[in-house]
A and B are shown apart, each in its own frame.
Chain A
């Protein structure tokens, strides 16, 4: 017992003891790790994504530097021109030379600019795409409890907005920052050759920028990060209001939802404004400092020129250079802002990527002949943020091919127990075994191909009916899909059509054939919306079509009307012969499908037996399963009697009521 609790990969080790919510923890972890990481560390983490980018990025850098240096040569040419043209013996050739040089450089500059984009954009977009796909790959392997704690909206803003930001940074920001720095350095060096004094003055403007930079940096990061997080919050509110629209409408509470949405949106607005204010301050600094220094340069330069220490051409060149350098100097501020925004995005990316899925295949998986024996051995389970165990030592053995109903009072943990079998959650104590092997010792694909589930809340995907039903088969998979190991029982590609037809028939989901495009009709987000009962039946056929050796059904018929339920129950009973089935049941009609019934009470399997046995033996079971004492049965009697004497049925019902209240 103790041993199995220490099994590798078991979630128990990483289960936190503190009762703070998983979400809070996630948020905490996120902030901490992001703040701890240095800029270099953050960017270092991106190296794997940038493999293909390197060479083209370097070429892009060369192109960008080329364009930057060419831009610098114009002031030099101009300075020369002013000096040459003011010489006494100036001839037309001076102008022609200058023209030719400027023309060539001009064309070259345009070519370089074209090349920069040509080199960098495709690989940067590839890197963005790869990061996006890796993020998705990571998330899709995260546990259900992870997804319970992280809202889809938050994750999505990490997948879209953050990665867009990174692409822009790699394709544009990083290059321009580098180029701007080089341009400014070279430009100032050229200025030195004209007048060290003026160049020194000009350099003075850079010092305060360097000093004030870090303060600006911290503030900007803070706002930029909060704004991005807040945008996620707003997205979550939107999502909720859209999914809950029926409730909101039913109670006319649109205004309430709106006002809580407005609150979040206002916070976002304020954060964005604060962010821009910080930026505005920095931008002002980037304009004011160099320009004021230039005013001083005019003063000094004119004096120097008047003294004859400097030519008019050098002075013209200096100011031309100052004008050319203005853009990169101003740009540096913006680009530095971009570096930190990029860091924020990287942090947010890494923070998610760094969370190891708590449930994974063991390093040395075991496997065994498939029979369908399911054993629960003193299973304990507690949700990460719960104070006490929900399952407190459940022990149950389901023989191969047996159909077992699982019954408990509302919230008794039946759905949770089902989730433990395919390891959607991991037990926090004890073990679940299939065919004698602990589920944590199987590789996940192996385990999950033996087991199929029909969830209480049927999630279908935006694709065709066919793809939805064949979700657990080889349909629309790569040949070598590692999540789809070879199994004797899995339907072969040529059997899929037949499996599909059978599954639909069993679940009474043949309505699908009558949809506008038959089984190829798209459903879900971008297609047809189906009723709850229809979705439930498709989810049921999906579980059947996977041909598992262990089938888990979570109250699969709850949304069906009586007649359909009866039909489906009949067919299921036939089809399920030979398949071990654990079925969560909330009423006798469902239990009727089962060979035996297990009663889950107070976190333990309190009793196992046939429906009739349990009815007589277990008071709890009788309470859960037996029709309410007088209830329907007695009413029927009264009604039948009243039917022959029209007019008295009202009294009969009235007489009924007090009794119901009593029970």
Chain B
């Protein structure tokens, strides 16, 4: 037990230090002073147009995320950048060495019999070539390493964030969205970091050095270049404005398509049983078509930009040729140098393509980054306080005092003011109509949510102030959906206590009556449960999740309709296990079955977010209220 404490404590501490750097939610100002409150988090994800201020805000958020993600690899990136600078300087120099140096300077000298006219240009050229080549190799490698390190960090952070966010967030923000944040959005970012950044620095450096060489060789040609910059700026602005909207649109249509795809594949049985294959295909074709159109539109923008840039470049080449040609005629300029300058002028604009393409991946990456940074900005409603209270040993006494709960500030009150004391060791069954608020009660206790008013205490410690680690240790919950993770049954049981020995795992399984069916599986405890519980029936899944809870050995046990999908023998088995499991523990059970109520010391009837009846089963039956009626209905079922 103590060993376990030590371990989780470490994990928890790390939890709150190592990734805090990327956590944008930590720097969010309080809502009331926040003019961008409507853009915070994932709120504005589907918006297409923003005003200037809003755009600026979102961009700043994205950049700050990138900056934070680059921590640790900044030195490497800097080094990489300098390698790019040197490599590009070397590459940009080659036409001048071949043109100006070799033909105008070397050739006359060589004809005069001066052998240096041969050696110097050749050797200089070789030096440039080797420098450029070796550094290219080096910085490609380094960029990949740095960008992959950043991506890894981002992936991890998005993952951590989704896990940290409270369930109310997950109820609105569907799993498909989280998955596309993690996959296609980060993929867009990978493309940017992998190739884009390289291309940008590479291109800019190349252009810069070429321009510098041209200016040094002949400043008049440099002036022509300067004039060409003006239309380029206009083109760039036009493209930027349109591309941004186009890319965002593409992202949205791709997300829609993905959701449809994933849903059809995971729900394949329903699709086939209801013969929806063709209708689903048709719908998919529709979505794929929308995506295709959006994409062609956004690529089309680039299709206009690229030739336009080329046209500007080629016109400059012609102008440089004309002006330079006459000066060669007049003897002011070497013919070889002119050739070098013309070529360089042609080449100086080539990287603009690359840069525009960078802008392409920048666009998609920006759109992706906006969403990712939005997600990272979300604050979990349930958070651990700065200096949490510890609770070493727990008896399991629960008290709600004036506790109230609503999902949002202006939303309806889901749980009315509640005063409820559950002494340690008591087994409480909660009954009530669907949607009456039974789950709310236990979810508050499990800290899926926090009470919005009043207090909820465990052994006198305010739940909000209790350290997460102690809370997890003392309160365990078996949910309705008994989700199994891919991996073996053993791993799935050990989920609640990873350091448990095999013996402990078997004991837990035996206690809840899961051992027999597990042993009948092909590989016993090592059987892979496959995709989302695959071959294992709902009842068996429940048994596994019971074993999980048993192994956790908590002071407070919460069962949420956990027996709903069991047949009677299994339920009976679990029932026995449950009684052993309950022991001295406090238990709160959402019951749909009389057999569950049977072992309760106390029953709470919940209706419209209020406790309407509270007492021992016998008392309530005597009162003749809802529970009494329910009870007789149950009796009827049993006799049937």
Contacts and interface: CB of A to CB of B under 8 A. Distances in A.
B342 to A, nearest CB: 6
B137 A280 contact: yes
Given A152-B265, A653-B601, A251 B496 contact: yes
A204 to B, nearest CB: 14
A280 B162 contact: no
A472 B275 contact: yes
B381 to A, nearest CB: 13
A525 B171 contact: no
Given A448-B273, A624-B568, A639 B621 contact: yes
A564 B482 CA distance: 23
18 contacts: A92-B326, A106-B317, A128-B292, A133-B284, A240-B532, A245-B162, A253-B496, A272-B194, A276-B143, A284-B134, A315-B103, A409-B567, A422-B272, A587-B637, A588-B637, A611-B640, A646-B618, A650-B616
A649 B318 contact: no
Nearest to A385: B522
Nearest to A585: B567
B448 to A, nearest CB: 6
A95 B329 contact: yes
Contacts of B151: 269
A528 to B, nearest CB: 9
Q: Which of A23, A277, A660 has the most CB of B within 10 A?
A: A660
Contacts of B48: none
Contacts of B277: 137, 140-141, 483
Contacts of B289: 129
B179 interface: yes
A36 interface: no
Interface in A298-344: 298-299, 301-303, 305-306, 312-313, 315-317, 319-320, 322-324, 327
Interface residues of B, number: 203
B272 A144 contact: yes
A161 interface: yes
Chain A binding site: helix, strand, loop or mixed by DSSP? helix
A302 B561 contact: no
A567 B427 CA distance: 30
A308 B128 CA distance: 28
B434 A560 contact: yes
A58 interface: no
Interface stretch (B60-68, B303-311, B399-407): B303-311
Contact of A78 (B269, B308, B342): B342
Given A90-B329, A265-B155, A563-B633, A643 B314 contact: no
Q: Across chains A and B, which 6 residue pairs bring their CB atoms closest together, nearest first?
A: A106-B314, A252-B472, A291-B129, A276-B144, A95-B325, A288-B133
Interface stretch (B117-125, B218-226, B417-425): B117-125
A90 B136 CA distance: 43
A484 B176 CA distance: 29
A152 B634 CA distance: 42
Contacts of B601: 650, 653
Interface stretch (A108-116, A184-192, A363-371): A108-116
A248 B163 contact: yes
A121 B300 contact: yes
Given A142-B268, A242-B178, A261-B159, A462 B325 contact: no
Nearest to A554: B538
A277 B261 contact: no
Interface in B223-266: 254, 256-266
B260 A462 contact: yes
A483 B278 CA distance: 7
Given A292-B126, A462-B260, A561-B592, A272 B273 contact: no
Contact of A257 (B128, B163, B171): B163
Chain B binding site: helix, strand, loop or mixed by DSSP? helix
Interface in A96-120: 96, 98-99, 102-103, 105-107, 109-111, 113-114, 117-118
Nearest to B316: A106
B597 to A, nearest CB: 8
Contacts of A239: 175, 179
A276 B141 contact: yes
Contacts of B536: 411
A312 B105 CA distance: 12
B517 A410 contact: yes
A650 to B, nearest CB: 7
B523 to A, nearest CB: 9
Interface in B172-214: 172, 174-179, 182-184, 187, 190, 194
A448 B480 CA distance: 31
B307 A147 contact: no
Contacts of B20: none
Given A21-B530, A78-B343, A144-B268, 16 more contacts: A82-B339, A95-B321, A239-B179, A246-B448, A272-B190, A287-B133, A315-B103, A323-B343, A386-B535, A410-B540, A422-B272, A524-B263, A623-B569, A624-B568, A642-B618, A649-B618
A295 B182 contact: no
A239 B175 CA distance: 7
Given A133-B281, A142-B268, A483-B277, A625 B167 contact: no
Nearest to B433: A561
Q: Which of B129, B260, B274, B314 has the most CB of A within 10 A?
A: B274
B505 interface: no
B267 interface: yes
Interface string B557-584: 0000100111111101001100100000
Contact of A107 (B106, B311, B630): B311
Given A144-B272, A231-B187, A151 B531 contact: yes
Given A136-B281, A306-B111, A152 B266 contact: yes
A18 interface: no
Interface stretch (A7-15, A453-461, A575-583): A453-461
Interface string B530-544: 111011111110010
A319 B102 contact: yes
Contacts of B122: 295-296, 298-299, 302
Q: Interface size bucket, A side?
A: 35 or more
A562 interface: yes
A353 interface: no
B579 A660 contact: yes
Nearest to A108: B314
Nearest to A280: B140
Contacts of B266: 147, 152, 459
Nearest to B151: A269
B54 interface: no
A283 interface: yes
A95 B190 CA distance: 48
B270 A471 contact: yes
Contacts of B310: 109-110, 113
B160 interface: yes
B322 A95 contact: yes
Contact of A387 (B121, B496, B522): B522
Given A478-B282, A542-B274, A462 B259 contact: yes
Contact of B307 (A114, A248, A656): A114
Contacts of A317: 339
Contacts of B126: 291-292, 295
A546 B163 CA distance: 40
Given A141-B277, A284-B136, A250 B477 contact: yes
Contacts of B535: 148, 383, 386
A660 B561 contact: no
B435 A319 contact: no
A586 B567 contact: yes
Contacts of B177: 525
A249 B448 contact: yes
A222 interface: no
A633 B579 contact: no
B619 to A, nearest CB: 7
Interface stretch (A212-220, A393-401, A491-499, A529-537): A529-537
Interface in A522-577: 524-526, 529, 531-534, 542, 546, 555, 558-564, 566
A47 interface: no
